Structure 1
Amino acid sequence: MYLPWYLQACRIDSHMTSSPPKRPNSQRSEGRLDSKMASGSERSGKSRIAGEDVTEMRVGIDDLPDEVLLMIFSHLSFSELIDVVRNVCHRWRRLYKVRKLWHNKEYHIGVSKHCDSDSCRCGTNEREVIRTFMNAPYLRKVHLWQGVTSHVIYMLSARCLKLLELRLPHTQKLTHLMLDNLFEKCSQILKLRISYTLLSSEKCVKAVTHLKYLRVLDLLARSREENSGTLMLPPGVLRPLYDGCPRLARVDFGCLHVNISDLWNFLNAKRSTLEYIRVKWAMDRTSCVPPLLTVCADKLKRLELYDYNLARRVASEAFTALGSLKNLWELKMSLNRKLPRGTAALAFTTGGLPKLRNLYIWYASGLDDDTVVAIIRGCPALQILAIRDAHLVSDAAFCEISHLEHLETELKIPGCVGDPKATDGLAERMPDLQICGSIEAEQPALEAAYCESDTEL
């Protein structure tokens, strides 16, 4: 049996002798051992013979207590635990199943590129996958990147009862009965990443309610057509989650449309637990999401809004509602369309966001100087400010950044267009600030074309 070199070294017994080896016990009177001394020598590894001083010590890895062995095993890879430790001896076979050895182990099925550490293992054929499920009952994290047969899903639910994290791909075919059995058996799952196609009916969503400890639910899209938002979840599909999954703290709706009334009822039901939400700015051009989020204002700490597609008449309502989320720690948003001047600033003017630490604004074509100034004045706790692809940013906006006492980590401004000298003085006033990127000079022809292409929604 192959063993890693460090385990081979540990299993080599070290012999220390201070006199010739023990002679055969030819005479009963001379070779008789004292019973007390014999019992002591069995524990200490030493033996004594009448008339001679003989000391023999045999020390190996098998003399270590279970606690020390488990400490050694905790540094082994997933494959070494399964392929080596399990096959050494009965004691090691018992110890390799200890739960704490598996808390960081991940099993990926179908794609090996995600296995970038020793704590990961990849299975490519179903026989190997089933064998792994049988030999790793305390496996915590399983990621499926391709569809598998129902037998594999059955073995997963039958063997991996301590599963904490599960990813199911959009190609996986599951009935609501299979989902019900899976989530009923693996009821300790904390993080579930699943294609929304597997939750396209109330019966399938009801199966998720078996996960009483679920904290993270990510709904994945499967194609560019779905990412564009052409498809939406059927009305009422989230209804079973209103009372189910009482510990749900993070929801990522992916690039999907959700029925606006269904979304409102869901947010209202989870207002005391939701801390992170990733969702579109609007489910359609007039049904903006930020006003719905105000019901979660007390608990909500992280928010990501993407695919800005609001009509101008509701834009001010959306940003005003965003400014009422006073407990936000992190805000990510894309402003990929031109906004009326000062509209985005509404999120930071009425008292601002006093607890905001990280602000990321991607595709900030709708950002103006008024918004930058409002951010600086309304977010005094800001530590990371990232603005990407902003137009017409002047030095008048950035000259006030030095007032942000906590902005000692990063200022990211890649792709911004405006005054290239706008950030020149920051290096002197804030020597600890890391400035990533630079502001490019404005090109009048391109800017004129950009303004002409800006049509009112």
Structure 2
Amino acid sequence: MASESEHSGVCHAPGVDAAVRHTSIDHLPDEILINIFSHLSFSELLDVVRKVCRRWRKLSRDSKLWADKEYHVGVARHCYSKNCKSGRTEQEAIRIFCRARSLRKVYIWRTVNRHLIEVLCNKCRRLTDLRVHAAQELGYSMVMNLVKQCSRIQMLRASDELLKTEAASVAVSRLQHLRVLRLQERRVLNTRVVRPFMLRPLAIGCPRLVEIDFGRLSVNMDDLKYFMNAKKNTLKSLRIKWSVDGTRSLLSLLPVYVDSLECLELYEYDLARDLAREAFTTVGSLRNLQELWMSVPDQVPPGTAALAFTNGGLQELKVLGLPYGCGVEDNTVIAICRGCPSLRQLSITHTRKLSPTAFSEIDRLEHLEVELSVEGCEGDPKATDRLTEQMPNLVIRGSIHAALQLFYFGAPEDNRVNADERSESDEDSDSDSSVGGSDSERG
């Protein structure tokens, strides 16, 4: 048994008459208490720590404790860790916003009353990540209040109403810390709502913007040129349709106006047949790309998709996704294997037919250690057997089906190119669909 003085943390010399000092957790400095609190969950911080005493209540608001905490409005299935908390009712969400004023990340998965967003903006002024439902109505006053009260926002996902008027677009452009902007087309009762799209104020403002997702929006080509020229040294990630105005491909703009682009996602392929070769050749000229996702449907002329990986290839590319790749052929896979030596993750899904000859080239990719996805592909079921033997660390997702075994050609659930479609299906099933997804943020 330890002596009383040893228990107290104070050592006394024999024969010395000294008062025994008792210590407790209250004697710990703030820094250590905050470190201890950082291991607690969202609910423990809110429902336990803040109720102990005034000091703990104050420390529980420290910004370091809330950097990784998330609050979800609408559905609980998005909360998968102790750092998440969710609430289905608006009243519950309002109570959380009033108590957790250091909250950084809020995801709203359904349309809500504007009062809830007003409370969020007024109470949680340290907000850095906000994602609201695509159908959420955002009036000018609401946008102004958001910009004024939550000026630290770094990631914002909302409907295209953010930029529907010049005044609203100017307001958004004042977000000096905004790094990621993701826009979604607002629909009312499954009807497309066409609005003007004001992009130029955004080009002048938002100096830290590095990623923009235009969703399904059609952008004026002249405005897009102006925007890309203004962000040519800072823009690193772009998600946009192959054709922004329904007729012309935007790809010719990228090598001229954007020098810093590292991640590109192209979807909704609708180019005229005579523009296909030029479009894929232009993709192959973006030498700094590290991540590329693009749809290759069956209307792509034979031999065209391979042009993106020939003529020097994409030497820096590390992640390549060809979801819904009905137009991917053997020569495309061979060109990828020879033109992308740094590739670490390759996803080729829903192709019509790939031979073992194409897969035999994949062992050229010495850095392909992460993942190979072949879900929904048709061809020889044994085509990947050799890869499993030669690359034991490679994770192969899915399997190749023989022609008679493949009945379903729809996109897989984790297909990035159909992320918007998945979000919309969530809207229909849950009545409170996602606008966040994931970037990933794509994860």
Bin the TM-score by the shorter chain: 0.7 to 0.9
Aligned residue for 2:347, secondary structure, equals strand
Q: CA deviation digits over 1:119-158, x for unaligned, max 9?
A: 1222444444333333323211122233444443333232
Matched position secondary structure for 1:174: coil
Specify the alignment match of 2:387 in structure 1.
426
Give deviations 1:149-204, integer Å, cap 9, x for gaps: 44433332322221111112234333212211221221110000111134322222
Q: Report how far residue 324 of structure 1 moved.
A: 0.9
Q: Which moved more, 1:253-262 or 1:335-344?
A: 253-262
| Among candidates 364, 370, 375, match of residue 336 of structure 2 | 375
Partner Cα separation in structure 1 for residue 406 and residue 377 of structure 2: 16
For residue 234 of structure 1, the aligned residue among 188, 196, 201 is 196
| Correspondence 1:129 to 2:93 | yes
The answer to whether 1:158 aligns with 2:119 is no
Asked if 1:168 is matched to 2:132, the reply is yes
| Counterpart code for 1:217 | L
Structure 2 CA distance, aligned partners of 1:305 and 1:232?
Answer: 22
Q: Give the whole-Å Cα distance in 2 for the aligned partners of 1:269 and 1:420.
A: 49
1:101-112 pair list within 5 angstroms: 101-112=65-76
Distance change >3 Å, CA 422–CA 143, structure 1 → 2: closer
TM-score by length of 2: 0.82
Q: Bigger shift: 127-136 or 322-331?
A: 127-136
The 5 A counterparts of 1:47-196 are 56=20, 58-196=22-160
Residues matched between the structures, number: 404
Question: How many Å apart are 1:215 and its aligned residue?
Answer: 0.4
Tell me, yes or no, if the aligned pair for 2:300 and 2:327 is still in contact at 8 Å. Answer: yes
Q: SS of the counterpart of 2:305?
A: coil
- 399 and 110 in structure 1: CA distance in 2 versus 1, 3 angstrom threshold: closer
1:197 match: secondary structure: helix
Partners of 1:224 and 1:334 lie apart in 2 by: 27
Question: Are the structure 2 counterparts of residues 433 and 444 from structure 1 closer, same or farther at C-alpha, using a change threshold of 3 Å?
Answer: closer
Distance 2:132 2:39 in 1: 29
Distance in 1 between the 2:325 and 2:349 partners? 6
Within the candidate set 221, 231, 244, 2:185 is matched to 221
Note if contact 1:386-1:411 (Cα within 8 Å) is conserved in structure 2. Answer: yes
Instruction: Provide, for residues 281-301 of structure 1, a one-character-per-residue CA deviation record: whole Å limited to 9, x for no partner.
Output: 113553112222223552111
Whether the aligned pair in 1 keeps the contact of 2:235 and 2:258 (CA below 8 Å) is no
- Determine the C-alpha separation between the residues in 1 that align with 2:84 and 2:158: 20
In structure 2, distance between residues paired with 1:93 and 1:296:
51
Larger Rg: 1
The question of whether the paired residues in 2 share the 8 Å contact of 1:17 and 1:54 is answered with no
Greater mean alpha carbon deviation, residues 410-419 or residues 323-332: 410-419
CA RMSD of aligned residues (A): 3.0
Structure 1: unaligned runs, 5 residues or longer: 1-13, 19-42, 447-457
Comparing 328-337 and 122-131, the one that deviates more = 122-131
Structure 2, unaligned runs of 5 or more = 408-443
3-state SS of 2:39 partner: coil
Cα shift at 1:433: 2.9
> Take 1:417 and 1:244, find their aligned partners in 2: how far apart are those partners?
48
The 8 Å contact of residues 341 and 367 in structure 2, kept in 1 or not, is answered as yes
User: For residues 173 and 362 of structure 1, do their structure 2 counterparts lie closer, same or farther at Cα, with a shift above 3 Å needed?
Assistant: closer
Matching residue's letter, 1:82 = L
CA drift at 1:73: 0.9
Aligned to 1:364: 325
Does 1 or 2 have the higher relative contact order (CA < 8 Å, sep 6+)? 2
Alignment-derived partner of residue 296 in structure 2: 335
In 2, the alpha carbon distance for the partners of 1:218 and 1:438 equals: 33
Give 2:51's aligned amino acid: N
TM-score, L = length of structure 1: 0.80
| 1:331-385 Cα deviation digits (max 9, x unpaired) | 1111123322211111111111000011111111111122111111111111112
Which deviations, in whole Å up to 9, do the C-alpha atoms of 1:232-264 show, x marking residues without a partner? 5525x1121110111111111122322333223
Shifted more, 258-267 versus 302-311: the winner is 258-267
Q: SS in structure 2 opposite 1:114?
A: coil
Structure 1 residues 114 and 212 mapped into 2: Cα distance closer, same or farther (>3 Å)? Answer: same
> Residues 398, 52 of structure 1: CA spacing in aligned structure 2 closer, same or farther, 3 A cutoff?
closer
Going from structure 1 to structure 2, the CA distance change for 1:323 and 1:232 (only over 3 Å counts) comes to farther
Alignment of 1:284-323 (within 5 A): 284-323=245-284
Q: Could you say what secondary structure the match of 1:59 adopts?
A: coil
Cα distance in 1, alignment partners of residues 32 and 406 from structure 2 = 71
* Corresponding position of 1:273: 234
In 2, Cα distance between equivalents of 1:294 and 1:249: 17
CA contact (8 A) 2:187 2:193 kept: no
